[in-house]
Every structure is written in structure tokens, then in C-alpha cells.
């Protein structure tokens, strides 16, 4: 990575950690002001992160979509975008920062530990379908992460007695019914974008390997995740699941995403295989 990219990236990580601590302090000490200031620092962190993404893009000459580092960088940016987009319509969703910030820092940390060498786009990645695949993958993962964050908030809020009438930290969060619906919205959006991701990946794979589905671990886990969130939707929309059990299910469903994302680096399968000189 370039010096500028490094400075921007580490600055964003530092700011996001500060933002998380601010939110935490706000919740613990039941104050609105640290939460508001943390929101401002989140915006600043996002600007720095965007700068890091842009610097990477310019210096490599391609969208940062190749390898664990670039995927983590771009993925973290998408997660932040999804979070800020949520706040645009839900100012009360700032509390979600308690889950989103650590997750973002974790994704970035995973990327930093990988090789960050600047390289041109390797032949297998030179496909328009790759962009569709990666864009929608991050939209889906971002939405699912937000759904998970909402579920965690829901579960912690509902575990407190008289939670809807509470004070302090509880007042910083939306009502339980609203949280439940927000979670459903994210799952719906994630499910649609996940479907596009899988479809685009299949068409890309056909051009690259001559088959659209190969049952490699990443493909299989993508399918598992999609089906699992499909079950979530079925249960919520047609069988009336809501509240705690629906939140627990959303929480467990995210395990598939974690395996699909973090598992990539540990699986030497055809999904990560490229023609190496």
C-alpha cells in the first residue's frame, strides 16, 4: 500500500475505534452527547476510509476487489455506507454503532493482516460480472450485518424488564416493534442483493471455468446463507415469527456470512484459484 493509503486507513481505524468508545460511553453513562459526537466521528472515519479506498483504486488502476486486503477495505467501506444510509432514515439507529464499528474494524484488521501489495487486476478478475458480483455481495453482507446488529440490540433491549419504558441507554434505541421491522427490512434487502450476487457469480464462473456452479465451499456457503435468510423471511412473513426467536434466528444466520467471508482465506479451492505465472 502507498504511504497516503496507509495514513488514511490507520486514521480511519483509529477514528472508528474512538467512535465506538464514544457510543459505549454514551450508553454506559446514559448521555446523549457522546453518542452524537461519536456519530460525527463516524462520519469523519468514513471520509478517511473513502480516501483510503480511492487512493488504492487510483494507485492500482482498478477497483479494490482483488485479494483479502482489497476485499476487506472495500467491504468495510460498504458496511459503513449501509450503516450511514440507515442513520439517514433512522437517527435512533446510532446505537447500532456498538455492533457495526467493531465489525468494521475486525474486517479491516483481517485485511491488514493479508498481503496488501499493489498489483494489476489479474486475468480471472477482468470481467464486468466481477463488479456486479462484488458490489452486490457487499450490499448483501452489509445488510445482513445491519440485521445482525439490530437483532443484538433487540435481544439486549428485550432482556431488560419494561424495556420500552426504560431510561438512559434504552431511550437511545428505537422501540422493540420498530427494531423488529428494521431487521426484517435489512434481511429483505440482503436477500435480494444476495440473489443478484449469486446469479452474477454464476455467469462469471461459466465464462471462467466453463460451469456456472461447482459446489466449491464458498459457493456452497453462499447458497447455505441465502437459503438460511430465505428461511428467515418465510418464518417471519408467512408463519408470523417475530420478536426474540426471530432475532435469535437472524443472529445465528450471520454465522454463514462469517464462514463465507473469513473462510475464503482458509480454503484452497477453485473459487480462489487463479492462473499464476
Partner 1 sequence: MMHRLTRLLPSRRFAVYLLAIMVAFLILGTSLPDIASMTPEETGALKTSRPLLFLISNSLQIETLISSPYFLVLPALIFLSTALCTMKRLCLKTAGEGGFYREAAGETQLRYEEIFSIFSSEKWRVVREDDTLKATKGGYGFHGSVLFHLGLLVVFIAVVVSSITRFSAELLLTEGFPMKLGKDAFVKIYKNRWLSEVPSSVVELKRFVPSYEKGKFAKDFSAELSIDGARKDVHVNKPADMGGFQLSLHRFGFAPSFKVTDEKGREVLNATVNLVVVGGKEDSFLIPNTPYLIYTEFFPDFFYDNGRFGSRSIVPKNPVFLLRMTSNGRELGRNFVRLGDTVDIGGLYIKFDALNYWVDLIVGRDYGLWIFAAGFGMGVLGLALRFVFPDKQMEISITGNKALIKGWTKYFPDFFEEEIRRIVEKLQNQRLS
Q: Which of 81, 209, 243, 244 binds partner 1 (CB under 8 A)?
A: 209
| Shortest CB 95 distance to partner 1, Å | 17
Nearer to partner 1, 24 or 224 (CB): 224
Tell me the closest approach of the beta carbon of residue 240 to partner 1, in angstroms.
8
What is the C-alpha to C-alpha distance for residues 260 and 256, in angstroms, rounded to an integer? 6
Q: In 10 A of CB 44, how many CB atoms?
A: 15
Answer yes or no whether residue 235 interacts with partner 1 by CB under 8 A: yes
Query: Which stretch in 4-12, 30-38, 96-104, 220-228 sits in contact with partner 1 by CB under 8 A?
Result: 220-228
* Nearest distance in Å: CB 156, partner 1: 19
Binding of residue 231 to partner 1 (CB under 8 A): yes
What's the Cα-to-Cα distance from 124 to each of 60, 179, 196, 218, rounded to whole Å?
A: 16, 42, 20, 17
Contact set for partner 1, span 127-166 (CB under 8 A): 127
Q: How far is CA 270 from the centre of its chain?
A: 24
- Is residue 40 within the footprint of partner 1 (CB under 8 A)? no
Phi and psi (nearest 5°) for 140? -65, -50
Q: Supply the minimum distance, in Å, between the C-beta of residue 178 and partner 1.
A: 5
Q: Give dist(CA 17, CA 49) in Å, integer.
A: 13
Helix ranges restricted to H, the chain: 3-28, 33-60, 67-89, 97-112, 128-158, 176-209, 217-237, 243-262
Rounded-to-integer distance, Cα 217 and Cα 75, Å = 20
For partner 1, give the closer residue by CB, 40 or 227.
227
CA distance linking residue 83 with residue 41, whole number of Å: 14
Shortest Å, Cβ 10 to partner 1: 26
| Out of 122, 131, 155, 265, the residue judged to bind partner 1 by CB under 8 A | 122
Task: Identify whether the C-beta of residue 23 lies closer than 8 Å to the C-beta of residue 94.
Answer: yes
In the complex, which residues of this chain contact partner 1 (CB under 8 A)?
Answer: 119-120, 122-124, 126-127, 175, 177-178, 180-181, 184-185, 188-189, 191-192, 195-196, 198-199, 202-203, 206-213, 215, 217, 220-221, 223-224, 227-228, 230-231, 234-235, 237-240, 275-277
Amino acid at each position: 500500500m502507498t504511504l497516503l493509503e496507509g495514513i488514511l486507513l490507520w486514521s480511519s481505524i483509529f477514528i472508528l475505534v474512538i467512535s465506538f468508545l464514544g457510543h459505549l460511553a454514551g450508553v454506559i453513562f446514559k448521555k446523549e452527547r457522546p453518542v452524537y459526537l461519536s456519530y460525527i466521528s463516524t462520519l469523519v472515519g468514513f471520509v478517511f476510509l473513502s480516501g483510503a479506498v480511492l487512493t488504492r483504486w487510483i494507485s492500482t488502476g482498478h477497483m479494490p476487489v482483488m485479494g483479502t486486503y482489497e476485499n476487506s477495505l472495500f467491504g468495510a467501506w460498504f458496511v459503513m455506507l449501509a450503516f450511514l444510509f440507515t442513520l439517514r432514515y433512522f437517527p435512533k439507529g446510532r446505537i447500532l454503532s456498538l455492533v457495526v464499528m467493531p465489525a468494521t474494524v475486525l474486517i479491516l484488521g483481517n485485511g491488514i493482516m493479508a498481503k496488501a501489495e499493489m498489483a494489476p487486476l489479474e486475468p480471472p478478475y477482468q470481467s464486468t460480472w466481477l463488479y456486479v458480483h462484488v458490489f452486490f455481495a457487499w450490499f448483501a453482507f452489509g445488510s445482513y450485518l445491519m440485521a445482525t446488529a439490530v437483532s443484538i440490540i433487540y435481544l439486549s433491549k428485550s432482556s431488560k424488564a419494561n424495556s420500552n419504558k426504560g431510561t438512559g441507554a434504552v431511550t437511545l434505541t428505537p422501540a422493540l416493534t420498530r427494531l423488529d421491522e428494521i431487521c426484517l427490512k435489512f434481511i429483505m434487502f440482503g436477500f435480494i442483493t444476495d440473489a443478484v450476487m449469486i446469479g452474477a457469480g454464476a455467469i462469471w464462473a461459466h465464462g471462467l471455468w466453463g460451469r456456472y456452479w461447482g459446489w466449491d465451499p464458498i459457493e456452497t456457503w453462499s447458497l447455505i446463507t441465502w437459503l438460511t435468510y430465505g428461511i428467515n423471511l418465510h418464518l417471519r412473513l408467512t408463519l408470523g415469527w417475530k420478536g426474540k426467536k426471530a432475532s435469535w434466528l437472524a443472529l445465528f444466520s450471520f454465522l454463514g456470512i462469517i464462514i463465507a467471508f473469513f473462510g475464503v482465506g482458509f480454503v484452497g479451492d477453485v473459487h480462489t484459484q487463479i492462473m499464476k505465472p
